[in-house]
Amino acid sequence: MALYNCLDRSTIEGLTRRFGIGDITDISVIDGGYENTSYSVETISGRYVLTICDQQSLMEVTNLANLLVYLTDHGIRTSRVVVPPKKPIVILHNEKPVMLKHYIDGDIVTDLTGNLLDQVAEEMARLHEIAAHSYLPKSFPYGRSYFSEVIDSNLDHAYIDWLSEKNSYLQQRIPQHLPKTLIHGDVFLDNMIVQGHQLIAIIDFEQACHYYRGFDLGMAIIGVCRDRKGISFEKAGRFIRGYQKEITLQPIEQETLKAFAVYAAVATSFWHFRHHHLRRPEPRLYDKHVEMQTLADIISKYPDSRFSELFAEEKTATIADMSTSDKEVREQPGETL
């Protein structure tokens, strides 16, 4: 992690005092994050995360803080923002927005299986049922509308032709008038906090926006349903079944799921390429985009039937469950009618 803002103890104490959490007993730097600096702060009242947002405006961070409060109020398991005794919800330090959240105790795992996949899918569906506030962006922060930043750049790199080709592929396969909702936009394993077999929270809503529901599902498939060869269709099938316990996808969304999985991988590769080649050039990270670029190519080559079968499996599983339930009802003792 790049430590953009190295703060001394007295500065941190001064900032946290404004949130009214009491005297600090311990401070440590939290690793991780490309664009923020975070500190773990402990007081008698509990443990917190103090974040200095180095690359976001005050309005962006304020909107994020308000979104997290909104999601918490609607029962979504995510970061809980500490609201200061006196507004505003986000304060400034050296022109940088600062936010305080409750620390979430748990683990980040390298694989999601079984019941945890079900929980993530169902939580995402509940998220998608919540109305999107007007302050949310209407486009994904590194979606197709931003690809021109790389395609039209002066860089001499084979990735540019590849991105242009994939952009055309997506344009042909994703209709404009698909259902949109409040999406997370970054559904990867490192944004899931678990304890044992229990999902505790989905964190990092910095990319949240009002965008295609199918895109969030595509992102989840590349983020939590992968194996060493590409997509684990066993995991993807379970994820879809869990999701459709809450929301039934429209036929057009089922048909475009493969395209959205490709889109999610292309967009993630684009973010890395743009960030490490254009915005913050870093030679040692020049190839950071390759993993998702390769995954996008792998998904593109899957037969469309591999994705349509996910929904066939979902219907088969439902019928099997109904048959089992009918059998259990028949075998239960009771009065003869």
* Interatomic CA distance for residues 309 and 127, integer angstroms: 25
Give the containing element (helix H, strand E) for 1. none
What Cα–Cα distance (Å) separates residue 14 from each residue in 6, 22, 54, 98, 204?
Answer: 14, 11, 19, 12, 25
Which whole number is the average pLDDT over 162-173? 98
Distance of alpha carbon 126 from alpha carbon 129, whole angstroms: 5
Helix (H, G, I), strand (E, B) or coil at 315: helix
- 3-state SS string over 121-173? HHHHHHHHCCCCCCCCCCCCCCCHHHCHHHHCCCCCCHHHHHHHHHHHHHHHH
| 60 phi-psi bin (left φ>0, alpha ψ -120 to 50, beta other) | alpha
Q: Which one is predicted more confidently, 322 or 70? A: 70
Q: Could you give the CA distance from residue 114 to residue 239 in angstroms, rounded to a whole number?
A: 9
Distance CA 191, CA 134 (A): 25
Q: How many CB atoms lie within 10 A of CB 269?
A: 24
pLDDT band at 6 (very low <50, low <70, confident <90, very high): confident
- Phi then psi dihedrals of residue 192, to 5 deg: -115, 125
pLDDT of residue 36: 87
Report the C-alpha dihedral over residues 22, 23, 26, 29, rounded to 10 degrees. 70
Could you give the CA distance from residue 251 to residue 15 in angstroms, rounded to a whole number? Answer: 51
Residue 337 has pLDDT above 60, yes or no: no
Cβ of 201: how many Cβ atoms within 10 Å?
Answer: 19
- pLDDT of residue 97 exceeding 90: yes
- For the stretch 13-66, pLDDT in tens is 999 999 999 999 999 999 866 678 999 999 999 999 999 998 899 999 999 999
How many other C-beta atoms can be found within 10 angstroms of the C-beta atom of residue 165? 11
Domains and CATH numbers, the chain: 9-102 (3.30.200.20), 114-321 (3.90.1200.10)
Query: What average pLDDT does this structure show over 307-318?
Result: 75
Average pLDDT, the chain: 91
CA distances to 97, 122, 133, 299 from 166, rounded to whole Å, are: 36, 31, 31, 12
Using DSSP's 3-state secondary structure scheme, residue 320 falls into helix
Percent of the chain exceeding pLDDT 90 equals: 86
DSSP string, 72-108: HHTT--SPPBPPPSSS-SSEEETTEEEEEEE----B-
Residue 1: pLDDT band with limits 50, 70, 90:
very low
Residue 271's pLDDT band (cuts 50, 70, 90): very high
Contact criterion met (CB below 8 Å) for 28 and 40: yes
Q: What is the pLDDT of residues 208-245, one digit of tens each?
A: 999 999 999 999 999 999 999 999 999 999 999 999 99
* pLDDT computed for residue 86 by the predictor: 84
CA pair distance 48, 321, nearest whole angstrom: 44
| Interval 282-299: pLDDT, tens | 999 999 999 999 999 999
